[in-house]
Structure 1
């Protein structure tokens, strides 16, 4: 109720412990706090907040148009909805090294468990598109060192992402990863590796935890969690998967409504009202304070003098009838 009861400090400690556990942490992307709640319920290890998804949700391309405030505000709302650790995409740090330092402080204040910075030229591009450019190594080292110096919670994870594989090749990307780790990065995110052999080469060369990006329609072969764990990777993210699933369903549903003039044929595919209330833990809110959540429907409100069940045990929302069933039945 009212978000997670797990503190940001405890989430960060859990993230650190997970990185040291020797097993793969699976972190699907969440485009909303409600999706983060579902990720936790289903049993994943953490939540990823993608910059590409945040941009898309604002109907913007992923080219560095979002601001620090937009990213940390949305990231904080998502992180606060779950007891799982959360990793935030902070692009290039929103400017110069001093901006990267401020980004760390803002992400910590928002309750995130970690963030990643990348070595692209600003404004950046989606990591799986052609035409990217990377900054020189020393510029990226400045971003990392600034971020490390600004960190207040030692368990806050600082991840360095390199996009050099698609620009300079595999060996230079590995060399960059080593330098970034030496500068204080806790984890390396090697973007757009091609196949198992390249993931294996990175693991053999780099000593710190490694993150794999399994995004659809990209340059990387989609590897299973079991394969990535056998290769020695520590984290896998699925950054845009939930948004793509949702938007595919939304588009198909809207086209059906436009063609049929009603949503009736779509109802069997929808999450029911009861399931939504379960995910929201509606009953806990109803029980929290009966003085607030008990109510009576008066004639002026469009109902009789029926009184809601005392003690707040019904778990129904205002607007449902006094018997605890809405006008469509309990399963809606």
Structure 2
């Protein structure tokens, strides 16, 4: 079942900042920090799980299993990327039902043609808006829990222009989407226009080095946005840290001399992974002879 606190936060007009999670370590770290929502990124999850590009290679089976594991581990509600719904209308129905049953609190569906691509990369094409409207109507009908939120994303801005992207955003909101996600606006002025034009909670996708300017939370709220996701912040930082540590090891032959901030600390990692509970269990059930 969906975590009702996420819908309650939107209903209360609370601005939400959601970090991207992409594996179980990032989920555990982010879950303990007090965010109102976590965002399960497709790019990062596909990269960490399969080691390939987010280009429509991952299947529904790949993703629902991973997303469900995130939800089992986290107390914080999760919005999860579900690409195009992994096929036609029947696939969308099963995707919504599967993500909801897995414990996800919100699903993101997009209007790209299959195979899809990451939203801040070139070469994306979109299906007719009317086809996406049908997908969203199926998604709305398929959910069982009213607290389960549907995020409708359009990638039309890059190939068809801002006006068409806004038109689609309105259509998708009218079709029942709870949150509208216009991918890849390229200026703050475009984001202002989106906020002015669509009367639905809006999602801002903040990708470091991507197409969209990263605005402060206060500014996003001021221009009409309700949630900002940071899908890449975690895996970009982890990749940079790994490269620094591995480079040091290659150069020096050991990890001596690494700055303290380059290590999470083994003891702290044991705590994060739940080893204290394991140790207590072992003490309780140790043989006394």
The two structures share one fold, judged by TM-score above 0.5? yes
Offset at 1:288? 5.0
Gaps of 5+ in 2: none
Question: Which SS does the other structure have where 1:26 is aligned?
Answer: strand
Question: Which SS does the other structure have where 2:258 is aligned?
Answer: helix
Question: Which SS does the other structure have where 2:75 is aligned?
Answer: coil
The residue that corresponds to 1:279 in the other structure is 272
Please report the TM-score for the alignment, with normalisation by the length of structure 1.
0.82
Once the two structures are superposed, the pairs formed by residues 180-199 of structure 1 within 5 Å of their partners are 180-199=172-191
Which of 161, 178, 197 is the aligned partner of 1:205? Answer: 197
Which of 77, 80, 92 is the aligned partner of 2:72? Answer: 80
Question: Aligned partners of 2:221, 2:14: CA distance in 1, in Å?
Answer: 6
Q: Is the 8 A contact 1:30 1:242 kept in 2?
A: yes
The residue that corresponds to 1:136 in the other structure is 128
- Say whether residues 1:31 and 2:13 are aligned partners: no
Question: Which SS does the other structure have where 2:164 is aligned?
Answer: helix
Offset at 1:232? 2.4
Q: 1:197 to 1:267 in 2, by over 3 A?
A: closer
- Structure with the bigger RCO (C-alpha within 8 Å, sep 6+) is 2
- Say whether residues 1:244 and 2:236 are aligned partners: yes
Q: 1:288 to 1:227 in 2, by over 3 A?
A: farther
Please report the TM-score for the alignment, with normalisation by the length of structure 2.
0.94
Q: 1:250 to 1:295 in 2, by over 3 A?
A: farther
Q: Is the 8 A contact 1:33 1:79 kept in 2?
A: no
Question: Aligned partners of 1:199, 1:217: CA distance in 2, in Å?
Answer: 17
Question: Aligned partners of 1:265, 1:79: CA distance in 2, in Å?
Answer: 38
The residue that corresponds to 2:56 in the other structure is 64
Question: Aligned partners of 2:60, 2:240: CA distance in 1, in Å?
Answer: 29
Gaps of 5+ in 1: 1-7, 297-306, 308-332
Question: Aligned partners of 1:253, 1:271: CA distance in 2, in Å?
Answer: 12
Question: Aligned partners of 1:19, 1:103: CA distance in 2, in Å?
Answer: 23
Question: Aligned partners of 1:81, 1:105: CA distance in 2, in Å?
Answer: 20
1:2-31 CA deviation, whole Å, 9 max, x = no partner?
A: xxxxxx44x1x1110111222211110111
Q: Is the 8 A contact 1:34 1:81 kept in 2?
A: no
Offset at 1:126? 1.4
- Which consecutive segments of 4 or more residues in structure 1 shift more than 4 A? none
